[in-house]
Amino acid sequence: MTGHHDIRFARLYLHVFACAACVLPVASYVLSTYGWRPGDIGIATATVAIAGVVATPFWGRLDDRTTWAPRVAVLACAAAAVLAALTLGRAPHALTWLALGLFGVAEGPLDPLLTTRVLASGLHGPRLGRVRAFGSLGWVLGLGLAATVLTLWPAHAEWVWIAAAATAVAAPASWGARDRSADRPGSLPGTRPRPPLRAVLGVLVVAFPTSMAMSVLVQFTAGWAHQELSAGPFLALAPIALSAALELPVFPLVDRLARHRPPLLITVLAGPPLAVAVAVLALAPSSWSMLGVQPLVALSFSLLFVGQSRMLSAAGPADRQASAQTLGSALINGGGQLLAGVVGGRLADAFGYPGLFGCLVALTTAGILAGGVALLRTRRRPAPAAACPAPPDRATVPGNQ
């Protein structure tokens, strides 16, 4: 059954990810058409990532105290995309860097903020994966929209960012009200709850290795395919679109599994499919293997998203749900993306792409081992002892009157 909130959340995921797809994956293409050097393009993409990592936790704290933070972030995305389009080629690079940085500030928190709303929606929380699948669909549609704009108007590549702004503005205005009836007991009005940093760090230990390995794979697959396999642009980008499309049927299956298994186990299970995928790429590099491992990549991402989101939801009380999700997203996903670009590039330079994929096998295996240890500790943890009933009053026991 699909209710009104399902449709609204699905549309929000669709618009948010379509907007991001029109900016993030094509930024290097758009900037290169204006003669930007690789070093300047690298600064631009790093600016987006760093701005998102730094700003995302602040949006979470704001959302825990207000109801309007997500909508403001969506509108800020649209304004930043328009600003980037207007400054490109007509001003010093610094102004475009600033515009793209503002886009990162506004776009970074949207996924975790939306995930917070879905998990808090009661009836729809157990179907997080099914609703999140519309984000994958939005990513595919956004890539298609970007490719269409770039093909029809090659002399105006910046127009793809105008399309991103239009996609963001067309998103539903209402994100739904947060249910704060279960807020932390005893909290005083006007107090500022502290972010659940310690609990989030516990999730990071388990999820970060797989998340970083996934980021490295996504960032370097197209370059590897172009340099090592002589793939054209469509074939080089095909794995990203194929993996996102395969997430559509996988997410509902992960939802079913998550109803009967703890989130920690779901997160740990994300490691093995990704380890197998990168091992195949390291041992048998080819276009066929690049496309053939995408079902494993889609399965791994779906398990990781659902497991990590539910672990973060359990990491904090009701009045700090957005803080937990955004802080976890910044540290795990954002931090993984930043390290993926720097560390992944150096490893590829030093050992080649097969060596890079081999390192990803080791990294993912380390995450699986860390998760296994966490599962063992959870199982060995003694259950809380049941409270013993108070002995009956001798005066009320039959025969003692």
Digit-by-digit pLDDT tens for the chain (401 residues) are: 344 456 888 899 999 999 998 888 888 778 878 888 867 777 787 888 889 989 999 998 888 888 788 899 999 999 999 999 998 876 678 888 899 999 999 999 999 998 888 888 766 667 888 888 999 999 989 988 988 888 888 888 889 999 999 999 999 877 765 555 444 444 444 445 566 778 888 899 999 999 999 988 887 787 778 778 877 767 777 888 888 889 999 999 999 999 889 999 999 999 999 999 999 999 998 989 999 999 999 999 999 999 999 999 887 777 788 888 888 888 898 888 878 777 887 888 888 889 989 999 999 999 999 999 999 988 776 544 444 444 444 444 444 43
pLDDT for the residue 257: 94
DSSP category for residue 319? G
pLDDT for the residue 397: 40
Nearest to 322 by CA among 177, 16, 171, 109: 109
What pTM value is reported for the model? 0.78
Tokens 């990810």 sit on residue: 17
Contacting residues for 216 by C-beta, under 8 A, at least 6 apart: 340, 343, 344, 356, 360
Burial of 198 (0-12, 13-18, 19+ CB in 10 A): exposed
pLDDT for the residue 396: 40
Structure tokens belonging to residue 203: 């999730």
3-state secondary structure of 2: coil
- Phi, psi (5° rounding) for residue 359? -65, -35
pLDDT for the residue 127: 83
pLDDT for the residue 6: 61
C-alpha to C-alpha distance for 163 and 374, rounded to whole angstroms: 45
pLDDT for the residue 123: 67
Taking domain 196-381, whether its CATH number is 1.20.1250.20 is answered by: yes
Nearest to 365 by CA among 291, 270, 243, 281: 270
Q: What length does the chain have?
A: 401
C-alpha to C-alpha distance for 206 and 313, rounded to whole angstroms: 15
pLDDT for the residue 210: 95
The domain made up of 1-175 has a fold known as Growth Hormone; Chain: A; (1.20.1250)
User: So where are the chain's domains?
Assistant: 1-175, 196-381
Taking only Cα atoms into account, the Rg of the chain, rounded to an integer number of angstroms, comes to 23
C-alpha to C-alpha distance for 100 and 112, rounded to whole angstroms: 20
pLDDT for the residue 193: 56
Q: How many CA atoms lie within 13 A of 390 on its CB side?
A: 3
